[in-house]
């Protein structure tokens, strides 16, 4: 799970997210993007977001509708992720890795690249053989 924004300095992380998705989707990885304008860097409409992600970064992984991911107005899913990890997104491209058991959740700050060794060390044991 990753909160995204189209006009952020970290937007190029879409490339690595899509690469991981393509490489590991047959082994059980699902990447889901949650566009958010909480940090004032997202396009206006869901259609604009979808068009941008597909045309600029070739994104094929699922993207949900724009929603808030921080504070009292955060969508319930992100509130639960923040609660279970004690880490709410502080910026765009905060990543949560949810284990197949649905209970184990790892949180990675914005600066951690999607394919960073810390992420891969948690992800690889979760993948189907």
Residue pair 97/124 in contact (Cβ under 8 Å)? The answer is no
**Are β-strands 2-4 and 33-35 bridged in parallel, bridged antiparallel, or unpaired?**
parallel
User: 63 pairs with which residues across the strands?
Assistant: 33
Active site residues per annotation: 8
**Are β-strands 95-98 and 105-108 bridged in parallel, bridged antiparallel, or unpaired?**
antiparallel
């Amino acid at each position: 799970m990753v909160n995204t924004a189209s006009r952020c300095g970290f937007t190029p992380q879409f490339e690595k997210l899509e690469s991981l998705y393509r490489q590991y989707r047959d082994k059980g990885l699902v990447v889901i993007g949650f566009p958010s304008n909480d940090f004032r860097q997202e396009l206006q409409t869901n259609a604009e977001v979808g068009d941008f992600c597909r045309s600029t970064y070739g994104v094929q992984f699922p993207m949900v509708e724009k929603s808030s991911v921080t504070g009292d107005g955060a969508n319930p899913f992100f509130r639960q992720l923040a609660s279970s990890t004690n880490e709410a997104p502080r910026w765009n491209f905060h990543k949560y890795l949810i284990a197949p058991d649905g209970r184990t959740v790892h949180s990675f700050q914005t600066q951690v690249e999607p394919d960073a060794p810390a992420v891969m060390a948690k992800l690889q044991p979760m993948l189907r053989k």
